[in-house]
Each structure stands twice: as structure tokens, then as C-alpha cells.
Amino acid sequence: MTEFWRPLADISKNLPLGSQRDWIWRGWQVRYTHLRGGKDYAPMLLLHGFGSALTQWQENFVPLSQSRTVYALDLLGFGGSEKAAAPYKISFWVEQVYEFWRTFIHQPIVLVGHSLGALVALTAAIAHPDMVQSLVLVTLPAARQELLPTLPNWLQSIAGEAESFFASPLLIGVLFQFISRPQVIRAILRAIYVNKDRVTEELVESFLAPGRDRGAAQTLSRLTKARTQNDFSPLTKELLPQVQVPTLVLWGTEDRVIPLTWGRQLPALNPRLKLVEIPDGGHCAYDECAERVNEEILAWLRG
């Protein structure tokens, strides 16, 4: 394993995101960052959501690092990491996270994940209990095979056909060109964010920049196809009872992507899990309600 310095992308120059570096994992380039804090508490590792990057944590990175070292990682295929021809699925990213931990951290951590990153973090905590001291999940998605049975039979059939249609490489190429436009990304983010003022040009650019990397369109095709497979992720409701570490789940009450009604089902699955609802927070509560999210995480860790 090797690491080396690399010039920061323009979008990251003015963000408080620590020392960004590249790490070579299995021959692929992976972007990560870290900020040295106190040594009295377990280090923290932040994992971003689908389509995002470590830049999503710009409002959390410094506050969370006041008493501990904080790392953030771009999962392969996202952000500043390589758009590789890789076998994308949750277990693959778990391997990336674990090998990053073995290479750079070497001690139990607080593992924090948002959405897709939360599912990776949850799976990693079970697969590698030596790595995780406690777990923080900012919204936690259900697996595909958990969602489909909740639909009527006729809609399940339509959903399956739609998945196959939208996973076709030809259509993905057209879709990629469409969503690579600033006005489209801006509209998508404004639909997701409750607080529209948080959808700045810098935020839009942070989602656009990875799409300019070589292989980005092909990676989107692979990711889209992978998400239609039942082996993309384990069942969330089967994972949660296996967690042996304290777990904090944060959920925006106005989340339009993964509704809170799903989140409220989760505490019954594990007595170590605490659900905290973030008033007026959307799917990106870590950004829209950053101060509240940071306070909840730090208070819970102190407790």
C-alpha cells in the first residue's frame, strides 16, 4: 500500500477538510483526508452517501475533530477516487474501508456513515468487530429486496422491468449526459434539500466534478446495474440485530429520500440502537442541520 500527495481539486481548496491525499488500494487511486485532533478518544471515520464524496462533510469535519482525529474516505467509484471497473457492492466497499483502517488507523474507531455509507458502516461493524468501537448512522436505507415486497404484486413486476431498462448501458450514456448539467444537478438537490439556501454553486460543483473524471459514465452504468442485484447489499433488518456496539441513528424528520417511517422501525431490532430525530432536517441533515447533528454525535459519544 502506498500514499502520495496530490493537488487538491478546485472545489476543495477553501473547505475545512484536513489534509487530502491519495492512497493506492489494489492498484486503484482512492482519495481520503484526515485532521489530527486529540489522542484521548477513538478516531472517527466518515463515509459519504451515494453519488456524493468526502466533501459532503465540510460542516462536520472540524467540529467533530476537536477531541479526536477524524478521517473521511471517498468510496471507490465516487468523489475523488478512481472511477474503476470494479465489482461494486456493499461487501466490496467494506473491504476498502477495512483495509484503509488497517493501513492508517490500527485502533478501534467511531464509524460514521450517511445513507449508502451508513449501510457500508453497518455491514463493516459486523464483518470486522475489531475495527468498530461505536457506530453513527445518518439515515439507513433498506436493501432492494426489502423494499420490493412492500409494493403491490403488479408494481413489483413494473419495478423489476424498470430497473432492467434503466440499467442498460445505452440509456445510462444518455442519462449521464443529461445529469451532468449544472441546472439538472441543482434541480435534483433542491428537490432533496429542505433548506434550499444550502444548495449553493459550490455544492452543485462538488457533485459535478467527479463526473468529469475518466470512466465516470461507465462507472455510473456499473453502479446502476449493481444496485438492481439482490447481492448488492444484505438485508438491513437482518444486519441490525447482529450489531454488538452502541449505535446512534440520526434521521431528518423531513427526509424525502428515505422516510422517517422506515427509521422508526429500526430501534426495535437492537436494544443498543438509539434513534434521534432531527427536526426540519432532510436527507442531508448533516449539512442542513449541521450544528444539531454535530451536537448530537458529540453528546452521545460523551455519554
% of the chain residues with pLDDT over 70: 85
Q: What one-letter code names the amino acid at 269?
A: L
What pLDDT, on the 0 to 100 scale, is given for residue 101?
98
Q: Are 74 and 31 a contacting pair, CB within 8 Å?
A: yes
173 — pLDDT class (breaks 50, 70, 90)? low
Give the chain's radius of gyration (CA, Å). 18
User: How confident is the prediction for the chain on average, in pLDDT?
Assistant: 87
**Cβ atoms 77, 96 nearer than 8 A:** no
Per-residue confidence (pLDDT) for residue 303, from 0 to 100: 85
Name which of 55-59, 166-170, 289-293 the model is least confident about. 166-170
Query: Which segments of 20-168 does DSSP mark as H helices, in order?
Result: 61-64, 90-104, 116-127, 144-147, 153-166
Strand 132-138 to 109-114 pairing? parallel
Report CA-CA distances (Å) from 118 to 164, 202, 226, 281: 26, 24, 18, 17
Q: Specify the pLDDT at position 166.
A: 46
**Tell me: the pLDDT tens digits for 37-90?**
877 799 999 999 999 999 999 999 999 998 899 999 999 999 999 999 999 999
Nearest Cα residue to 244 out of 131, 120, 97, 94: 131
CA–CA separation, 34 and 66 (whole Å)? 13
- pLDDT in the model for residue 224: 85
- Return the higher-pLDDT residue of 12 and 241: 241
Domains of the chain plus CATH, in order, are 2-150+231-302 (3.40.50.1820)
Q: Using CA atoms, how far apart are residues 236 and 240, in angstroms rounded to an integer?
A: 6
